[in-house]
C-alpha cells in the first residue's frame, strides 16, 4: 500500500472501513453458530427502560422468545443450517456496525475528507478486496474447518465488536496526533486483536460457556385444536417494532451525518443515507426478528397439553399441561392488537420459571375455550381518547416541525431528528401507558 503513495489519512480510513465491515460479517457468521449462547448471561426484558422494546407489551415470554428458540432451518443446501435463536445476535452486530460507522465518521471527519478518500479508485478497489477477502476467510476458516460447530453467537459477534470499540476509544485518545495518531491507534488495536485472537484460539475450550435448554416433553398425539397468529397483526407489530428500534438510534445517525457533511457529501445525500438507509436497515432487521419470534408459531392442544410448535424449524418450543396453568391475562398494552382485533395472552404456570406468550390471535375465543385459559375477559378496556388524540397531534406536529427545520436549516434539523426521535419514543410510550385502562 505504500507503493500506492497513500497518506496516513488514507490508511486510517481504510483501517476504519475494515473494522466496520468485519462486524456485519460476524453477524452473518453468528447465524450458523451451532452452540447455543449461555442462557444464564442473557438479559431479561427490562420493563423500566422505556427504550427497551419488549416483544409482548412488557411480558417476559421466556422459552418462546427468539433467543431461546429451539431448532434450525436449512436455507441453502451448500451451507449449514441457520439457527433462529441467533438472529438477535446478528441484529446486534448490524447495529454495532452502524454505531461504529457513525463514530468513525464523526472522529475521522475532523481531519479527513472521508467521502473523497473513499471515492479514490485505489481506495475503492482496496475496500472491494477487503469485502471479498472477508468472504474468503469465512469460507476457509469458519465453514471449511467446521468451526461453526463449536462457536456460540455471542462469542462470534463479541470478537468483532470488541475490536471496533477499542479502536474508537483509542482513536479518540490519539486524535490529538492528527492522522498519524489515528493510524498508530488503529495499528495498535489491530496488533492487540490479532494477539488476543491467537491466544483465544490456543486456549479454546469447546465446553466453556455452552448454554443448554431442557428438552420439551410434548405428547405425540395429533392436535385437537390449533390456533395461529394473525398474519396482518404480526406484520404490523413487526413493522412497529422495527420503526421504534430505528428511531431510537437517532444519535448514531447524527454522528454519521456530521462526519459525511464535514467532507464532500451534500447535506441532502447525507440525510438520505443517515436518516433513510441506516434506519431502514436497523428497522428491517428488527422487524424480521419479531416476525420470526411470533409469526412462525402455531399453538396447539395435544391431549391435555398446550403446545407451541414452530412451523419453520419443525420443533416444539414449549409445552405446559392445562392443569398447570395458574393464570392467563389479556395484554392490554398491545397497540396493534387493538387495531387488528387480535389478542395476546400471558400465561403463568405453577411450576414454570417464565410466563408464556400466546400472541396476536385472531381466533382468540377459540383459543380460550380449547386451552381452558382462566381469562377474566377478552375485551379491551376503553382507551382514554383524549390522551390518544394528544399523542397523535403532538407526534404529527413534531414530525412536521423537524421536516420544516431540516428544509431551512439542515444542520439544526439533523440535530432535532437525531435527539428528538429517541425522546419522542420515550414520550409516546409514557403517554400510551396513561391512555390504557386503569393507568
For 412, residues 6+ apart whose C-beta sits below 8 A from its C-beta are 405, 406
Residues 97 and 146 in one domain: yes
Quote the pLDDT of residue 55.
Answer: 39
Quote the pLDDT of residue 346.
Answer: 92
Residues 389 and 365 in one domain: no
Last residue in a domain, options 200, 225, 250: 225
Residues 323 and 400 in one domain: no
Domain annotation covers residue 152: yes
Quote the pLDDT of residue 174.
Answer: 63
Residues 178 and 315 in one domain: no
Quote the pLDDT of residue 242.
Answer: 94
User: Could you read off the pLDDT of 241-261 as tens digits, one per residue?
Assistant: 999 999 999 999 998 998 888
Domain annotation covers residue 287: no
With H, G, I as helix, E, B as strand and everything else as coil, classify residue 210: coil
Residues 309 and 392 in one domain: no
| Strand partners of residue 307 | 300, 319
User: Measured between alpha carbons, how far is 103 from 254 in angstroms, rounded to an integer?
Assistant: 10
Q: Give whole-number Cα distances, 350 to 215, 327, 329, 353, in Å.
A: 19, 9, 15, 9
Quote the pLDDT of residue 268.
Answer: 86
Domain annotation covers residue 316: yes
Domain annotation covers residue 23: yes
- Residue 319: phi, psi to the nearest 5? -150, 140
Quote the pLDDT of residue 203.
Answer: 39
Quote the pLDDT of residue 207.
Answer: 46
User: Measured between alpha carbons, how far is 278 from 179 in angstroms, rounded to an integer?
Assistant: 27
- Residue 346: phi, psi to the nearest 5? -105, 125
Last residue in a domain, options 317, 345, 370: 370
Last residue in a domain, options 186, 204, 225: 225
- Which set of grid coordinates corresponds to residue 77? 443446501
Q: 346, 361, 345, 60: which is closest to 233 by C-alpha?
A: 361
Domain annotation covers residue 109: yes
Query: Which residues span the domain enclosing 168?
Result: 2-225
Domain annotation covers residue 251: no
Residues 308 and 423 in one domain: no
- The CA angle 430-435-439, to the nearest 5 degrees, is 80
User: Measured between alpha carbons, how far is 99 from 227 in angstroms, rounded to an integer?
Assistant: 40
Residues 362 and 396 in one domain: no
Residues 349 and 394 in one domain: no
For 340, residues 6+ apart whose C-beta sits below 8 A from its C-beta are 230, 232, 233, 236, 360, 362
**How many domains are contained in the chain?**
3
Domain annotation covers residue 322: yes
Domain annotation covers residue 161: yes
pTM passes above 0.75: yes
What is the dihedral sign for C-alpha 273, 4, 22, 181? negative
User: Measured between alpha carbons, how far is 160 from 7 in angstroms, rounded to an integer?
Assistant: 26
First to last CA, the chain: 63
- Which set of grid coordinates corresponds to residue 102? 457513525
Q: 393, 377, 395: which is closest to 438 by C-alpha?
A: 377
Residues 133 and 166 in one domain: yes
Residues 216 and 347 in one domain: no
SS (H, E, C) 36-55: CCCHHHCCCCCCCCCCCCCC
The enclosing domain of 303 has a CATH number of 2.30.29
Quote the pLDDT of residue 166.
Answer: 77
- Residue 314: phi, psi to the nearest 5? 55, 45
Quote the pLDDT of residue 45.
Answer: 45
Q: Give whole-number Cα distances, 268 to 99, 105, 174, 272, in Å.
A: 21, 17, 31, 6
| Strand partners of residue 315 | 310
Residues 38 and 118 in one domain: yes
Assess contact for 144 and 76: CB atoms under 8 A: no
User: Measured between alpha carbons, how far is 243 from 330 in angstroms, rounded to an integer?
Assistant: 25
Which parts of the chain register pLDDT below 50? Answer: 1-2, 44-61, 198-199, 201-210
Residues 359 and 389 in one domain: no
Amino acid at each position: 500500500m505504500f507503493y500506492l503513495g497513500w497518506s496516513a489519512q488514507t490508511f486510517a480510513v481504510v483501517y476504519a472501513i475494515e473494522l466496520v465491515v468485519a462486524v456485519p460479517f460476524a453477524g452473518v457468521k453468528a447465524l450458523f453458530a451451532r452452540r447455543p449462547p449461555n442462557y444464564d448471561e442473557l438479559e431479561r426484558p427490562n420493563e423500566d427502560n422505556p427504550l427497551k422494546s419488549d416483544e409482548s407489551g412488557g411480558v417476559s415470554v421466556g422459552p418462546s422468545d427468539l433467543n431461546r428458540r429451539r431448532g434450525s432451518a436449512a436455507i441453502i443446501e451448500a451451507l449449514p443450517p441457520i439457527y433462529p435463536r441467533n438472529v438477535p445476535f446478528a441484529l446486534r452486530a448490524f447495529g454495532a456496525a452502524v454505531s461504529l460507522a457513525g463514530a468513525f465518521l464523526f472522529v475521522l471527519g475532523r481531519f479527513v475528507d472521508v467521502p473523497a478518500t473513499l471515492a479514490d479508485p485505489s481506495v475503492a478497489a482496496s475496500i472491494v478486496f477487503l469485502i471479498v477477502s472477508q468472504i474468503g476467510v469465512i469460507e476457509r476458516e469458519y465453514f471449511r474447518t467446521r468451526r461453526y460447530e463449536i462457536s456460540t453467537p455471542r462469542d462470534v459477534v463479541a470478537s468483532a465488536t470488541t475490536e471496533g470499540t477499542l479502536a474508537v476509544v483509542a482513536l479518540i485518545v490519539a486524535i490529538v496526533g492528527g492522522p498519524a495518531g489515528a493510524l498508530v491507534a488503529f495499528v495498535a488495536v489491530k496488533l492487540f486483536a490479532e494477539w488476543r485472537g491467537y491466544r483465544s484460539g490456543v486456549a479454546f475450550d469447546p465446553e466453556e460457556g455452552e448454554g443448554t435448554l431442557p428438552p420439551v416433553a410434548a405428547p405425540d398425539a395429533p392436535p385437537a385444536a390449533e390456533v395461529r397468529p394473525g398474519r396482518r397483526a404480526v406484520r404490523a407489530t413487526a413493522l412497529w417494532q422495527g420503526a421504534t428500534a430505528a428511531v431510537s438510534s437517532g444519535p448514531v445517525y447524527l454522528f454519521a451525518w456530521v462526519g459525511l457533511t464535514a467532507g464532500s457529501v451534500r447535506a441532502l445525500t447525507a440525510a438520505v443515507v443517515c436518516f433513510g438507509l441506516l434506519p431502514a436497515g436497523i428497522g428491517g432487521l428488527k422487524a424480521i426478528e419479531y416476525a420470526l419470534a411470533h409469526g412462525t408459531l402455531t399453538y396447539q392442544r395435544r391431549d391435555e397439553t398446550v403446545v407451541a410448535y414452530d412451523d419453520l424449524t419443525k420443533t416444539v418450543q414449549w409445552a405446559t399441561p392445562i392443569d398447570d396453568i395458574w393464570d392467563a391475562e389479556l395484554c392490554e398494552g398491545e397497540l396493534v392488537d387493538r387495531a387488528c382485533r387480535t389478542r395476546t395472552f400471558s400465561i403463568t404456570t405453577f411450576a414454570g420459571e417464565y410466563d408464556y406468550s400466546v400472541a396476536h390471535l385472531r381466533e382468540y375465543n377459540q383459543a380460550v375455550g380449547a386451552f381452558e385459559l382462566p381469562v377474566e375477559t377478552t375485551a379491551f378496556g376503553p382507551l382514554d381518547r383524549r390522551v390518544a388524540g394528544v399523542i397523535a397531534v403532538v407526534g404529527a406536529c413534531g414530525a412536521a416541525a423537524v421536516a420544516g427545520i431540516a428544509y431551512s436549516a439542515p444542520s439544526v434539523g439533523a440535530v432535532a431528528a437525531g435527539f428528538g426521535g429517541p425522546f419522542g419514543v420515550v414520550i409516546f410510550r409514557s403517554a400510551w401507558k396513561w391512555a390504557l385502562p386503569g393507568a
